[in-house]
Structure formats: C-alpha cells, structure tokens
Amino acid sequence: MTGLNLGDVLGPWASGTGPRYVQLAAAVRAAVERYDLAPGTRLPPERQIADSLGVSRTTVVAALDRLKQDGWLEARQGAGTWVAARGDALGVSPDGAVYSSYPVQRLLRSTREPAPALIDMASAAFPEPVGVAEALATLDLDLAAIGMGYLPYGHPDLRAAIASHLSARGLPTVPSQILITTGVAQAITLLAQLFLPNREPVVLENPTWTGTLDAITAHGSKIRSLPVDDQGARVDLVPDAIAKSQADLVLVTPDFHNPTGAQLTLSRRRRLAELAHDLQVPVVENIALAGLQLGDTPVLPPIASFSPDRWILTVGSFSKVVWAGLRIGWVRSSEPTIDRLARLKAVADNGTPVLSQLVVLGLLDRFDELAAGRRAHAEKSLATLMAALAERLPTWRPRPPVGGLSMWTQLPHGSAHEFARVALQHGVDLSPGPIFCADESHHDHVRLPFVAPPAVLVEAVDRLTAAWADYEREREAL
C-alpha cells in the first residue's frame, strides 16, 4: 500500500479514555484486526503519522513501541515499521487491503458502536425522511410490470419522471438518457469505470465531497486539484489542469458546492461547457443539492443545458431533499453512454432496488414542495448556527453559504484534525477540512452542517466552545 494515510485508515480514533498513546495503539490494533492494515503493510514515518493525526511525535512513538512489544508491529532495520505477520492471516496482501478513508471509518464505527449522546455535526444530510411514509402508503406495486425486479437501466416510469423533472428545469431530456443508480456514489464509480478504465488521472475540485474523493481514490486514479472560490470551481484553470495531468475526466459540483456552499456562476457554467467540447474531455456535474438554494439565491440551469453534444454528464439524487436512506441516484447522458453504463450497472448489482425507486416515483410530483420545506428548515437552522458562533466563538471565520446544507468555517489557528479529536471527547462528531481534499490541505477548516434542529445546533456550539477552550489549553501546554 503506497501513500498510506493513517488518519484515513483510523478515522475518528480518539474517543476512549486513558493516555492518548494508549488510545492510538488501540486504534491501530483494531485496524490490523479488521485487515484495514494488512500484514506486510509499511507504516508511514513517525513524523508523517503525527501530522496526519494531529498529535505529537512522542505520542506516536509511544503507541508504536507498545504495538511492537505486543507483536502487532515489527521494526525492520533501516526499513521502518511494518504490520507483523499473523497466525490467523487470511492471505491478504498489502496491495489487497480494502480502501478506507476517515468518513468511511466514521460510518463503520457509528454502525458498530452507536453513540446516542453524540451530536452529529459530520453528516450534511437530513436525518429524518419527508414524504416517504405517505409514498409507501400509496405504493402501486405492479408485479407483472416489474417481473424479477432486475432493471439495470432503472424502472421505466422513474426514468421518464426524472427526464420530465430535468426538462422542466431547462435541460431537455428523454427517458432513454437516464440511468438509475444506487446513489450518486455509485454513479461516480460507474463513470470512473467507463471513462478511466486504466486509472487515468481526473480533475477534482479542492475541497470536494468526500463521496467523490472516496470513489475516485478507491478506483485508483491520480487526482489533479481544482481550486474553489466563492463563485464555485475555478473553471479558468481547467485547461492547465488537464494539460499538466493528462486527465480524462473532470468532476464539479455547480449547485451549492459541498463543503463550501458556493454556486458556480452562469458564466462559468457556460465556459465549462465550451471547454469540455473544445478539449473533448467529459465533465461530470453533480447536482444532488439542486433545489436547496438559500435566501434570494437564483436557480441556475445545469451545465449540460449549455452543451451542444455529449461532453457533459449530469448526476443527481434525492438523498439531500427526501432521505439518504432511499439510495436513489441517476445519471443523465447520451443514449450510447447510458447503454454502456447500464452494462456496468448490470454487472455491479443487476439494478437498484425497485421498491426504493417506486417510493421516489411517488414523491417526484411533490419535489418542489418538499424542497421548499427543507429550505425553510435550513434557513432557520443556519441563522441559529451563525448567531451562536458569533456569540460563543467569535474568532472563528465561517463562510455563509448561498445554498446547500453546510458551512465551510476557518479556525483561527491550529489543526482541524486535532480539534476534531477534542470535539469528539466533548460529544460532537466533526468533519475536519483535510478529509475533503486530495492534497490534505485546508488543515485549519471544518465543515459545519445545519441540518439539525436549532436547539441541537445551539447545544453543539456550546460543546464546541468548551472543546475549543480545552484545545487552546492543550496548545499552550505544548
């Protein structure tokens, strides 16, 4: 395994009790037991581990020494520290270890070890569904039409409904241009398989949604970073990024970029469509957050509406407006491309679960109504969060979003990874900035979602205030 980042493998590891080196040793041992660190894996240098985890080198040295004494790690003369061979080894080589990231580890941990008292400020999705119960109550299950339920293209009625939904928003679409996927993450995975068969490089926004980063990293493609400002992705830098990396794909989030909340301007959308055509490089736009504009932010057409041909592919889902648990996403592209993606989809899972598709089908005619309700909630919660931060943490520098469900916030100093560790000890699960970046930059940023009720957000800021005070005392003591 090359380029190993122990912070990604361990996830939010420091939530136990006792000395920090003991907690770190326990987390590394657990990763070895799960085969996230396979026998024969070489660990990064001690200083690199300390930087990725936001701890002192002394803590790292003490943890590694403990693991060596217990036989979990071994030192090789002049060659660093390695995961030791195990008597119960399953034949897993370092190259065969399963890809894992900080968000993935957090998700797995929350499933294995639920913590009801923990305030989730890491997930930027509404925890409760809207409209799902009503849709289930009126579900029209035509078994004769569904057959075995193997529908790799997706349910034909849902494909038609999504095509109409996009056409009404300025992107003329027919059903044969739609493929139903199991969420946006699968859509991006399928697109990577199709357009990057030999793990060709890809241009990604920096920062970007962790789901995109995970899908592309797990695929094995090298990433060229594209900066994001308050007008969205720096489209003017795309030609240079492609030229220097020889990238075969570009991925952007035009509508309320996650995590910054920025909206790609109309002129940049038009220019990106022109560049895709001129450079003949496919551009994937993720519009999963469309419909969640805040205040008087205008609704802008998808990038694909400016494209005269097949170079813009649009992906979206209903996770942000309806409920992430439905796992319904889609791809809109040319019919030949959809046919090729459907072959990959058939191999992956034969088709997205039909019942979830039918629930979404029953909700699509209410999408605007449901999105309006979500916007009202988000605007109220955002106002509460900003007021609480201004009062309790005035040195923090939040960037008010124009849409979406999270706010990109700069800390006055220090390491976001290290602060996230302290916040977890105070009962708040937080996403540090580097997990959104292929180059692990934005080390002094955190993402603050505002999906929780206002009262919960006030409590979260109270806990973060106490955590920040403890964190600053730790820094002063070093």
210-255 pLDDT, tens digit each:
999 999 999 999 999 999 999 999 999 999 999 999 999 999 999 9
* Strand, helix or coil for residue 172: coil
Q: Both tokens of residue 42?
A: 């070489």
* Strand, helix or coil for residue 404: coil
| Contacts of range 26-30, beta carbons closer than 8 Å, 24 or more positions apart | 28/63, 28/64, 28/67, 28/72, 28/73, 29/67, 29/70, 29/72
Which domains, ranges and CATH numbers included, belong to the chain?
6-112 (1.10.10.10), 119-128+369-477 (3.90.1150.10), 132-367 (3.40.640.10)
Instruction: Name the more confident of 114 and 58.
Output: 58
What's the whole-number mean pLDDT along residues 395-403?
A: 98
**pLDDT at residue 67, as a whole number:** 95
- Alpha-carbon distance of 414 to 373, in angstroms, equals 37
Question: What confidence tier does 113 reach under pLDDT thresholds 50, 70, 90?
Answer: confident
Q: Both tokens of residue 69?
A: 């004494």
Helix axes 46-53, 416-425, angle to 10 degrees: 60
Quick one: which of 318, 293, 196 has its CA closest to 250?
196
The H or E element containing residue 410 is strand 406-410
The H or E element containing residue 75 is strand 73-76
- Alpha-carbon distance of 6 to 3, in angstroms, equals 10
Q: Both tokens of residue 116?
A: 């009801």
Question: What confidence tier does 37 reach under pLDDT thresholds 50, 70, 90?
Answer: confident
Q: What is the pLDDT of the chain when averaged over all its residues? A: 92
Quick one: which of 175, 141, 142 has its CA closest to 342?
175
Residue 99 has pLDDT above 80, yes or no: no
**pLDDT at residue 474, as a whole number:** 85
**pLDDT at residue 1, as a whole number:** 39
Q: Both tokens of residue 375?
A: 């916007």
Q: How far is CA 89 from the centre of its chain?
A: 32
Residue 447 has pLDDT above 50, yes or no: yes
- Alpha-carbon distance of 209 to 435, in angstroms, equals 9
Q: What's the angle, vertex CA 290, arms to CA 288 and CA 292, rounded to 5?
A: 115
The H or E element containing residue 391 is helix 367-392
293: β partners: 403
What's the whole-number mean pLDDT along residues 56-66?
A: 93
The b/e string for 320-343 (b: 16+ C-beta within 10 A; e otherwise) is: bbbbbebbbbbbbbeeebbebbbe
Q: Both tokens of residue 368?
A: 């605007």
Q: How far is CA 203 from the centre of its chain?
A: 16
Q: Are the CB atoms for 311 and 278 separated by under 8 Å?
A: no
State phi, psi for 264 to the nearest 5 degrees.
Answer: -65, 130
- With residues binned 3-state (H G I as helix, E B as strand, rest as coil), the percentages for the chain, rounded to 5, are 45, 15, 40
**pLDDT at residue 2, as a whole number:** 42
State phi, psi for 272 to the nearest 5 degrees.
Answer: -65, -40
- Alpha-carbon distance of 270 to 290, in angstroms, equals 18
Lowest mean pLDDT among 15-19, 320-324, 402-406, 440-444: 15-19
Q: Are the CB atoms for 438 and 225 separated by under 8 Å?
A: yes
pTM: predicted TM-score of the whole model, two decimal places: 0.86
What's the whole-number mean pLDDT along residues 354-373?
A: 95
Q: DSSP H helical segments within 156-305, as ranges?
A: 156-168, 183-195, 210-219, 238-245, 266-279
